[in-house]
A and B are shown apart, each in its own frame.
Chain A
Amino acid sequence: MSTLELREITKHYTTGVETVRAVDGVSLTVTGGEFVALYGPSGSGKTTLLLLAAGLTSPDKGSILFDGRDVGMLNERDGAIYRRRDVGFVFQSFHLMPHTSALDNATIKLTGGGYNLREARSKALPWLQRVGLGERTEQTPEQLSMGERQRVAIARALVNEPSLLLADEPTGNLDSKRSREILALMRDICHERHIPGLLVTHDPDATRFVDRVYTLRDGHLADGIDPELAASPP
């Protein structure tokens, strides 16, 4: 069972003369089968934390361990392999290839890892069926609803059978019904496959679908939802 462990992570950015403390001494552990939400307003450092977990940026201080390996120290090539083999990533804006079938969109990770299209399709098809798109595999993103597009993106994130699921505002472009479906689906997958899942959101409703929730504010992490933030308009 995989575990994601963030130990005393600090990440600062300098923009002009100002230094932004995106993440400041954050520690967090997500174990296999847990679906955890990081809740916070825009600019709170949520996305930075996600990038750190995906090995896309290195912390200034601290370490990010995934199954005991420090992913913050990986070079570009090893980082790419880590993301391809171990990480499933779901975006707010889907990032699907236009004019490309749902099935081929779901294969993109596998083909990057050396599969040819035929092999990749046979591996991706069960995942499209799992997210409820078994009948729409040949539809292109333009022919799918927003919710269906996000399902394709989730299938794409899962085809490599990742050991870690990361999601950046995955329901930001969806209505509330579709949002609930997508969040429930992601939670179920984490539970079924015993993998850690980390969800970044600014929607307090989304936190109802997770096992644990933390609030990230000004780079600092706190347990639960900050009631002050939840009460303020988004």
Chain B
Amino acid sequence: MNPRIAGVRLSMLVHLYRVRLRSHAVQELLAGSGIAVGVALVLGVLVANTSLTGSAGELIHDVVGSARLQLSARSSEGFDSSLLNTSRRLPGVRVGAAVLRENVAVVGPRGRAAVQLLGVTPAVTTLGGLGNRDFAGGGFAFAGGVVLPANVAEAIGARAGSRVSVLARGGARTIKVGAILSSSLFGALSSSPVVLTQLRVAQRLTGLPGKVSEILLEPLPGADERVEVELRRLAAGRLNVTPADDELRLLDQAAKPNDQSTSLFAAISVMVGFLLALNAMLLTVPERRRFVADLRMQGYDWRQIVVLLAFQALVLGIVASASGVGLGVLISHAFLHRIPAYLITAFPIGSQQILHVGTIALALGCGVLATMLASLSPVLDLRPSRASDAVFRDRSGGSEVLAPRTSTRLTLVSVGSLLALTVLVLLDPALTIVGGVALAATTLCAIPSLFAGVAAALRWLGERVRSSALIIVVSELRAVTTRTVALAGVAALAVYGSVAIGGARSDLTRGLDRNFAEYLSTAQVWVTTGGNDLTTNPFEPGGATGAIARAPGVRSVRVYQGGFLDVGPRRLWIIARSPLDGRLIPASQLLHGQLARATSRLRGRGWATVSEGFAHERHLRVGSSFTLPTPSGHARFDVAGITTNLGWSPGAVIMSAEDYSSYWMTAEPSALEVELEPGVSEQAGRRAVLAAIGDRSGLGVQSYRERRSQYASDSRQGLHALSEISELLLIAAALAVASALSAAIWQRRARLASLKIQGYDTGQLWRALLLESTIVLGVGCVVGAAFGVYGHALASRWLRLTTGFPAPFAVGAGEVLTTLCLLALIAIAVIAIPGLLAARAPARTSFQE
């Protein structure tokens, strides 16, 4: 089969491309590499962006199977398992299975891991979730032990048959490892932080006999509504009735700021990737234009030439983009594969990478589209008004010059867009992410005019200063070409993204550090279940409270309570503090209300502070009332103050421990706050507390500084993916700009050699090339940094107003400079060698055109 396309046989198209590959292999390889790097960057970020909720989604569906409704507890104490039989007997229920979930730690020979213990009944197999899995060779059997996912088993050094300790609710119990879930058979489960066991074993390990935390139900077809009504009646306002996969909806809400930040990076990466591919193709334009002229003179008509160019671009685009997809998968595995610790505390997020067909198609599409678009410019030579051999007389080097009029128009577009998006974002902060993408595009529009300005300034300088390098640079930059703009654009976008997101990240880190410093400052020593970031795991104190109170150097011990509460789409963080605490509300986090008055109200009953997002959703103001669905039914509170989200994106509620004990019907602490006598150091106090609690290995004791440092480290780890994407973007951009600049310099060897004949030496030429590269990069970096700082201000405002995170805006001049220097140094270091080689081109080169 050898079809004709516009009169050209397919075999001919293939033949001509093979000829091109033979004669311009290096050029084609360079272009392909640029496209591949761009596509890899896009894919890596897209995969990182979708994997978080994607892996959790797979995991949740793995557990709930065909269940469509669930009855769930409002606290970690769960509810009586006898409700399972009652719910199974409800009309319209096909299958019901009970689950007990508890945040625990497993300890093996090599270390410990924070996991979610999931106790299930054999009935869960009939729901088809876990039931699809062939545990222990066909039966639902855990051999009386626990089943560890492969990643957890590896982390703690456990093997099937060995024994591990499970730390739950302040106690420690050892148990046999029944099996380890391999990735080949168990997919999301094997890379999850979920440890499976039988319900009764889980009840024993957690000290909650006869308790379950949820009942999963599969109604008969068409019976969902009826079952839901019956479940609500059964719940009697003390339990939640939700869709079985409600956890995913809650996670979506909790992960939204993270998702949106990486979405912004994904969009910037798409633009950078597109520009990289475009740049790479622009390198081949002069030669392609000559090729087009040759074909025209050989009698090819415009349709045939277009088909030929499109075919070559398509082949290059597909091959390079496919390589980029492979590279992108490697990048996402190697660099962008970290789960925010703060989310693991509340949700079972797996570490599985989710690679959707749509994501691959998008990355491939971007690469091919950029290749096709960039290869279009030689088509302009096909205009009837243009002579066939015009390109041979054109001494511009084949680069398209941007007319001053175009630069002016682009500047006007840039200013107009900047004003428009400022107004839009001021009116609706939720539009900031879209605004951030628009701002990135605006950054590109500002480059040509800045180039023109820099060229004019250099020219002015060149008229007054004796510098041979400067004069060469003035000549080279006199005209703004699309290639120069594209090169500077890549640098600008990378710097923009890094400065904007990096700045917002620093603001957030600073805000979180301050918040947690105040939050933890109520005690000098903290006793918790350990490893639990938000202090939400309750424990049975036994005699620990009294023993600690009697320890030497201890002034007082107070009970801290707290947990998560699902309210609508939010999994709220409940903080219940002793009225005796010196500071109930972190002062820096109070947005509305007076601190002293709000604190005094919280010390009484029926008052609570709420986060701004929650307050906004419920139209709450200071003094207005709201209800919370607590384990004892709906509880009414008055708003004592409105705070930031205290670092937990769904929001937080602070109330008194007395209210909590009453509505949650528990006296169990999730922490003990220890205040020391004056003059007793934190370390001495910590040692005294450790001695007092004896062998309670299920409890962790930390000084204020240790706990604060753990929070700081975890909040940074939560933002790690953003840092990695930002660094990757910078390095990829620096390398891509460097390779594109190097290739462009290499193409100018004949002209450089001619300058040698005019009396320039290698050193002068090398300095000129480095200066020129520095200026191209500098323009991009400066534009990127300026727009980046503006983007940073918008992003911080978005964090504060839309997500409720504490993020006080401050320009980190040091960070901006580091970003600029990092990109410029990498690029200049890479350019230095090919630049020197080009500058050393023998004079003979100028005779070989």
Q: A residues touching B (Cβ–Cβ < 8 Å)?
A: 47, 51, 54, 56-57, 76-77, 80-85, 87, 89, 91-100, 104-105, 107-109, 111-118, 141-142, 146, 149, 156, 160, 168
Contact = CB atoms under 8 A, between A and B. Distances in A.
Most buried by B among A83, A115, A118: A83
B751 interface: yes
Most buried by B among A56, A118, A141: A56
A47 B845 CA distance: 11
B760 A112 contact: yes
A202 B396 CA distance: 27
B599 to A, nearest CB: 70
A112 B758 contact: yes
B462 A117 contact: yes
A76 B761 contact: yes
Contacts of A105: 475
Nearest to A156: B758
Contacts of A146: 393
Interface in B735-777: 750-751, 754-762, 764
Contact of A99 (B396, B751, B757, B844): B396
A153 to B, nearest CB: 10
A95 B841 CA distance: 15
B820 to A, nearest CB: 28
Interface of B: 393-397, 401, 459, 462-468, 471-472, 474-476, 478-479, 750-751, 754-762, 764, 842-844, 846-847, 849
Nearest to A97: B475
Contacts of B754: 91, 95
B71 to A, nearest CB: 75
Contact of B395 (A54, A85, A87, A149): A149
A114 B463 contact: no
A156 B846 CA distance: 16
Nearest to B471: A111
B19 to A, nearest CB: 24
A155 B369 CA distance: 47
B466 A83 contact: no
A80 B395 CA distance: 26
B843 A56 contact: yes
Q: Which 8 A-B pairs have the closest CB atoms?
A: A84-B759, A99-B479, A95-B754, A111-B471, A80-B761, A56-B843, A97-B475, A83-B759
A81 to B, nearest CB: 7
B757 A83 contact: yes
A146 B466 CA distance: 31
Given A84-B759, A118-B464, A95 B750 contact: yes
Contacts of A107: 471
A142 B758 contact: no
Given A56-B756, A108-B471, A76 B762 contact: yes
B393 A108 contact: no
14 contacts: A51-B843, A54-B843, A76-B761, A80-B760, A80-B764, A91-B846, A95-B751, A98-B397, A98-B479, A104-B475, A108-B475, A113-B759, A142-B394, A146-B393
Nearest to A77: B761
Contacts of B468: 111-114
A192 to B, nearest CB: 22
Contacts of A95: 750-751, 754-755, 846
A113 B471 CA distance: 11
Given A108-B471, A114-B466, A117-B471, A83 B758 contact: yes
Contacts of A115: 466
A96 B849 CA distance: 14
Contacts of B466: 111, 114-116
B461 to A, nearest CB: 9
A108 B479 contact: no
A92 to B, nearest CB: 8
Given A99-B479, A114-B466, A114-B468, A94 B395 contact: yes
A93 B753 CA distance: 13
A171 to B, nearest CB: 15
A77 B401 CA distance: 35
Contacts of B755: 95, 108, 112
A105 B474 CA distance: 11
B758 A84 contact: yes
Nearest to A84: B759
